[in-house]
Amino acid sequence: MNDKRSQYVQSLIKTLKRDFRETAGSTGIEAPDERVLEAIRKVPRDRFVPDRDMGMAWENTALSIGYGQTISQPFVVALMTQLLELTPESRVLEIGTGSGYQTALLGELAGEVYSIEVVPELAAQAETRLRELGYDNIRVRSGNGRRGWPDAAPFDAVIVTAAAEDIPPALVEQLRPGGRIVIPVDTGWYGQDLLLGIRTEDGQLDTRSVLPVVFVPLVGKEGGK
């Protein structure tokens, strides 16, 4: 890692630690895990943003990636990743590959990653990038993520990086008992809440609200738009 890049990363990590502290009242999490920070140090975020925004790649901000979509803010990415409590054995399903940045972090922390993106061009770009970076434990496919990836289920963790009106039932069904889902859900009032759900032995989902967030919408509701 060159000096300049390592300075940018240090500065981002400092900001992330501050954001974790400042939101702890809502999230219940005081600090980022060392494993999550290590993954953030390792994944070159500059490879996942458009060339024109290269200078912004290590800022704690969301950036446009085309097709009306964004690469999420690093703090939110770190928080969501941490909530999944991944181990090197975990099998993870991600809905909303986008740039593939979050996907790469999952690839660093989990055993197997399955990621679905509805915009075929974004899925193809992310797949190429992730392959170039050497992630052989990640599979990307294009399609409507609301149906999940039944052939690869059950998953230890599911992460959705676009906001839904409620939690798509197929995603809960594809979670193992004790498995975790992290998903932004419309509050029905204003904005969205990041929810953490843990599947119980009897197939129910225990959920708690973690933090107000802003995500692009999860498209492809059956019978909807």
Q: Is 96 in the site for ligand SAH (CB under 6 A)?
A: yes
Answer for which of 16, 79, 83, 95 binds ligand SAH (CB under 6 A) is: 95
CB 173 within 8 A of CB 198: no
Residue 118 lies near ligand SAH (rule: CB under 6 A)? yes
> Two tokens at 106?
């999952």
Site for ligand SAH in 120-149 (CB under 6 A): 122, 144-146
99 contributes a contact to ligand SAH by CB under 6 A: yes
8: which 2 tokens? 């940018």
Considering only the stretches 37-45, 67-75, 173-181, 205-213, report the one whose residues sit in contact with ligand SAH under the rule CB under 6 A: 67-75
Query: What gap in Å lies between CA 174 and CA 205, rounded to an integer?
Result: 12
219 near ligand SAH (CB under 6 A): yes
* DSSP 3-state of 140: strand
Quick one: which of 13, 40, 162, 194 contacts ligand SAH (CB under 6 A)?
162
Report the DSSP beta bridge partners of residue 208: 196
User: What b/e readout covers 27-57, taking b as 16+ CB neighbours within 10 angstroms?
Assistant: bebeebbeebbebbbebbbebbbeeeeeeeb
Known catalytic residue at 72:
yes
Q: Cβ(194)–Cβ(80) under 8 Å?
A: yes
Q: Which is catalytic among the residues 11, 72, 99, 115? A: 72
Q: How far is the CB of 146 from ligand SAH (least distance, A)?
A: 5
List active site positions: 72
User: Given the rule CB under 6 A, which residues bind ligand SAH?
Assistant: 69-72, 95-96, 98-99, 101-102, 116-119, 122, 144-146, 161-162, 216, 218-220
